[in-house]
């Protein structure tokens, strides 16, 4: 993009780069500009994919994104190659406790997988396209099925802490406010300009989860419902929780939806589940508050059950 500056005695032309830069004229007169970070091209994302594949012998068809306190699933991956996010060129960094920040390749239930131990969130300062960037990398690596997990607060009063909710749909509050990971130029090689997401969460995978949950004796704490994504990092007010429940939400969290939208855009089928780590506060007289440590502790207690469920599902794909 060219910017024209009216400076005596002539009109000066400078090139706007997608970073902070300066234009200098005469004796060190500087004019500073700042633009939003440029989105990577299809070729840039291909380079990230090629880099990761060059670091491992594994060629996964299944990817798992682990939520807060749920990264232990990646620790049980066998014959693994782990790559820190800091080693991956042009890749975001995870800054949240409970997210190790590693890409783990290996075998889970006899199937080749890649697990993200740590995801990215808008409240870390990342735009939604960057939150969803790993999914596009997965697509170019050959991923066909994506498992997404998260820690969430229960809006539905019939849920209990420790329940596992199979995601059948979502409400994107950022999306309703005009923000979306697909906003901006559409790369047709990933998918169409206007993708449908009414079938975002694969019904066959949900049925498989219900069947396996029954086999494992998980029926008493397995639920199904609608996940609401909010921006964070502050937890929801009582009024906001009441509104989200009226809208049809069963659980609320600060992640997952951008990755799901990007996955469906490029034809990856999705299975999502939330671990209920707390009941949201709905009573103005309540003395209870929500904190991240509680989220992590609940994740530890239910981690084994979630690992069993995901492992058995992957083994049957």
> What is the total count of domains within the chain?
2
Give the whole-angstrom CA distance, residue 70 versus residue 188: 34
Active site residue 63: no
- Radius of gyration for the chain, computed over Cα atoms and rounded to the nearest angstrom: 22
Q: What pLDDT was estimated at residue 264?
A: 99
Mean per-residue pLDDT, 134-151: 98
What percentage of the chain reaches a pLDDT higher than 70?
85
Question: pLDDT tens across 13-46, in order?
Answer: 444 444 444 444 444 544 444 456 789 999 999 9
What does residue 137 show for φ and ψ, rounded to 5 degrees?
Answer: -60, -45
Q: What pLDDT was estimated at residue 45?
A: 98
Q: What pLDDT was estimated at residue 33?
A: 44
Mean per-residue pLDDT, 194-208: 98
Catalytic hit among 151, 167, 222, 273 = 151
With bands split at pLDDT 50, 70 and 90, how would you rate the model's confidence at 196? Answer: very high
Give the whole-angstrom CA distance, residue 215 versus residue 22: 64
Mean per-residue pLDDT, 194-219: 97
Question: Are residues 24 and 69 both part of a single domain?
Answer: no
Parent domain of 20: 2-33
Q: Is the pLDDT of residue 97 over 90?
A: no
> Which position has the higher pLDDT, 96 or 169?
169
The answer to whether the annotation marks 278 as part of a ligand binding site is: yes
Q: Is the pLDDT of residue 297 over 90?
A: no
CB contact set of 192 (below 8 Å; sequence gap of 6+): 186, 265
Active site residue 32: no
The answer to whether the annotation marks 94 as part of a ligand binding site is: no
With bands split at pLDDT 50, 70 and 90, how would you rate the model's confidence at 302? Answer: confident
Tokens of 279: 């009941």
Q: What pLDDT was estimated at residue 23?
A: 44
Question: Are residues 77 and 23 both part of a single domain?
Answer: no
Q: Is the pLDDT of residue 142 over 60?
A: yes
Q: What pLDDT was estimated at residue 69?
A: 64
Question: Are residues 13 and 125 both part of a single domain?
Answer: no
DSSP 53: H
Catalytic hit among 63, 74, 85, 124 = 124
Q: Is the pLDDT of residue 214 over 90?
A: yes
Active site residue 4: no
The answer to whether the annotation marks 43 as part of a ligand binding site is: no
Question: pLDDT tens across 51-95, in order?
Answer: 999 999 999 999 999 987 677 888 889 999 999 999 999 999 988
Question: Are residues 155 and 186 both part of a single domain?
Answer: yes
Question: Are residues 118 and 174 both part of a single domain?
Answer: yes
What percentage of the chain reaches a pLDDT higher than 90?
73
Active site residue 265: no
Q: What pLDDT was estimated at residue 14?
A: 40
Active site residue 170: no
Q: Is the pLDDT of residue 245 over 50?
A: yes
Catalytic hit among 58, 121, 170, 265 = 121
Give the whole-angstrom CA distance, residue 304 versus residue 70: 9
Question: pLDDT tens across 303-313, in order?
Answer: 889 989 999 99
Question: Are residues 104 and 250 both part of a single domain?
Answer: yes
Question: Are residues 164 and 296 both part of a single domain?
Answer: yes
Q: Are 314 and 109 in contact (CB under 8 A)?
A: yes
Q: What pLDDT was estimated at residue 304?
A: 86
Mean per-residue pLDDT, 245-274: 98
Q: What pLDDT was estimated at residue 6?
A: 45
- Worst-scoring range by mean pLDDT, 93-102, 133-142, 216-225, 231-240? 93-102
Q: Are strands 62-66 and 78-84 parallel, antiparallel or unpaired?
A: unpaired
The answer to whether the annotation marks 121 as part of a ligand binding site is: yes
Active site residue 311: no
Mean per-residue pLDDT, 171-197: 97
Question: Are residues 120 and 194 both part of a single domain?
Answer: yes
Active site residue 58: no
Question: Are residues 258 and 133 both part of a single domain?
Answer: yes
Mean per-residue pLDDT, 235-257: 97
Q: What pLDDT was estimated at residue 9?
A: 41
The answer to whether the annotation marks 120 as part of a ligand binding site is: yes
CA distances from 256 to 87, 90, 146, 238 (A): 24, 21, 11, 23
Active site residue 180: no
Question: Are residues 140 and 168 both part of a single domain?
Answer: yes
Average pLDDT of the chain is 88
Question: pLDDT tens across 156-170, in order?
Answer: 999 999 999 999 999
Question: Are residues 26 and 70 both part of a single domain?
Answer: no
**What's the pTM?**
0.86
In sign, the C-alpha dihedral spanning 176, 181, 183, 188 is: negative
CATH of the domain at 65: 3.40.50.1580
Active site residue 198: no
Question: Are residues 129 and 22 both part of a single domain?
Answer: no
């Amino acid at each position: 993009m060219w910017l024209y500056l009216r400076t005596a005695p002539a009109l000066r032309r400078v090139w706007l780069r997608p970073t902070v830069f300066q234009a200098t004229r005469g004796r060190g007169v500087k004019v500073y500009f700042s633009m939003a970070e440029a989105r990577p091209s299809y070729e840039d994302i291909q380079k990230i994919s090629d880099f990761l594949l060059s670091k491992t012998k594994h060629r996964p068809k299944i990817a798992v994104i682990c939520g807060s306190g749920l990264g232990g699933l990646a620790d049980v991956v066998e014959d693994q190659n782990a790559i820190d996010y800091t080693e991956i060129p042009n890749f975001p960094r995870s800054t949240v406790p409970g997210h190790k920040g590693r890409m783990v390749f290996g075998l889970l239930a006899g199937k080749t997988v890649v697990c993200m131990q740590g995801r990215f969130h808008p409240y870390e300062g990342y735009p939604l396209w960057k939150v969803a960037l790993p999914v596009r990398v997965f697509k170019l690596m050959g991923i066909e099925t994506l498992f997404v997990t998260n820690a969430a607060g229960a809006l539905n009063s019939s849920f209990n802490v420790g329940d596992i909710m199979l995601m059948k749909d979502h409400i994107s509050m950022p999306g309703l406010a005009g923000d979306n990971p697909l906003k901006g130029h559409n790369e047709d090689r990933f998918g169409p300009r206007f993708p449908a997401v009414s079938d975002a969460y694969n019904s066959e995978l949900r049925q498989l989860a219900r069947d396996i949950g029954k086999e494992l004796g998980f029926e008493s704490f397995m639920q199904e419902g609608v996940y609401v994504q909010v921006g964070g990092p502050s937890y929801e007010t009582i009024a906001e929780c009441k509104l989200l429940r009226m809208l049809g939400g069963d659980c609320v969290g600060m992640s997952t939806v951008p990755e799901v939208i990007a996955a469906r855009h490029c034809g990856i089928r999705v299975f999502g589940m939330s671990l209920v780590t707390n009941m949201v506060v709905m009573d103005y007289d309540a003395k209870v508050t929500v904190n991240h440590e509680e989220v992590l502790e609940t994740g530890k207690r239910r981690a084994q059950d979630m690992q069993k469920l995901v492992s058995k599902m992957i083994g049957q794909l």
